[in-house]
Structure 1
């Protein structure tokens, strides 16, 4: 090896180290030698390009919770993780927009529900950290929303940061006492997470020539962002309320009655459709025509019994509207009943809504959780019920 010197534009002679090929006369550039005069150091090299690690958290869902008269609702903030996330995943959070505490008390709007992998500032529950391992059962930050019949609607801001990425999710605390609050326009998606070709179903998305299928749109369109641990942020956001069997829907804000194996809320109990309300379609319906325990076996009587009992701490239970009940149908379910697994003790059967059938005073609408279809039924039919609360 030897250094050759060539003049540059300014007349200097930087040295270039070359090596003569053993099989020819080609010169191979190796590196810069010292400056003119045979000495000096190599010129400074640019620093290496540092590629930051990918974020573990891709997004955090926004949600709705409806405050109750005596019971506590839950507002959940669940992260969607990178499919190849490296565990443990840590996510810090800060909550603003309402008053936090360590438990419900006068002036407190919410507190962070205790979990082994969630830490929160004890005094205010407004800052904390969620840590996820591959096998973590709890995979979200749950806020217990305190009862507040006299409070107004409030919007929470849930700012998060996993060290590589950050973002803000929102949470709407809808006041139960708000008489001007309209029906929520937020709806669940269908639960369908696969695509179809002209010849088959249950296929991966997308399918060539058949773009824009159900599974590619809306909340279902993010079903592939699953992370680890068997959860997703698409279609449904359901949380069982503390110390109860009732289920909070984080998308719509509605709270659903939990069913049990026996007793007043037995999953097998049936009721005929009866409503003394003016909006009953012109006929009150059939009283006490079902088979149940703990109440007269029609819809009016069961609603009254649940409110008298203050099921899950609430006394504003009602029959769901047809669009509300059909909104918890999981059309992507592989088998009946066609409803998310969070709804325990669900039967593959027909459930009443409060919606009478137009033009038929003897009929009302129901949802079949065997097929997922909305069907018209005679009010004298004995069907099941799952009550709801909220607007």
Structure 2
């Protein structure tokens, strides 16, 4: 396929993604924790965020990002939703170029298509929380990481360090993605899959830690409220089933209990998509150890690190690693393209599309209601 045709198809995919995301968007009821986005952004606008920091568990940068749109629009929730949709579309574009870089155009286009129709990605592209922005930042960080591994230009490491610091101040749990990135550098060095010098990575880690350390005085106040005083009521310590449930949610978004009762085909599809993602990792491992370490590390380690902390503290939720869904869809796309029989491949893609549209139909039928999240539990 020629370059112009590739980008034409991408544009068509983005148009479809946009239409699916703006459908009835002005009627959408608030989702999980969105009220905090409005409260925190109000505090940024009023200049009271830091003085109230001990009454919540939030870091400021995402709300600083929202603040001018919130203020200039006269506190329009619709404007913020449209902004999230824009971020969701940008995340599709960034993921397309990442998949194109490490795989090929076919896998890149299929990844974009899957993200465009993915109920999980669609919902989080409308959700006024930090996750759509983190998708862009994390995929961007992986792209920069791979470039740095190739050329060792210091500007790349400076950019990575800046992203690592900023990501923490957008959502505190993005720290687990950063831990994963530094772990990947270490594993690549130990396994001799890279010849980069380790000293610049250590310096980057120190600078990142110092950047995060500025929040320690505020974190102490937040820890006292949320952990010591037990203000967190909606999340418990880790149940082992929560970990694989994360990939189930990436696959279909719908709450498992609701799907089990009303749409069993959704569960079957989820199992199939998770299987395809695992097979995609296997195929990457067969073709390149370095690429496998990078891909597996980024898609799995943030979940593992969050789960490890979740054993001791009530912090684990799939939503805190929702920014990894583009990587999940890349693995699914990789597996689908690996299917040699075209009829089987297109049949599988058709089934995925149909069941996802069924999920979206359910979503659109309930998202205008208060507590619509009972069916999707985002």
**Larger strand percent:** 1
Name the TM-score class by shorter chain: under 0.3
TM-score (norm 2): 0.23
- Which structure has the larger Rg over C-alpha atoms? 1
Judging by fraction of residues, say which structure has more helix: 2
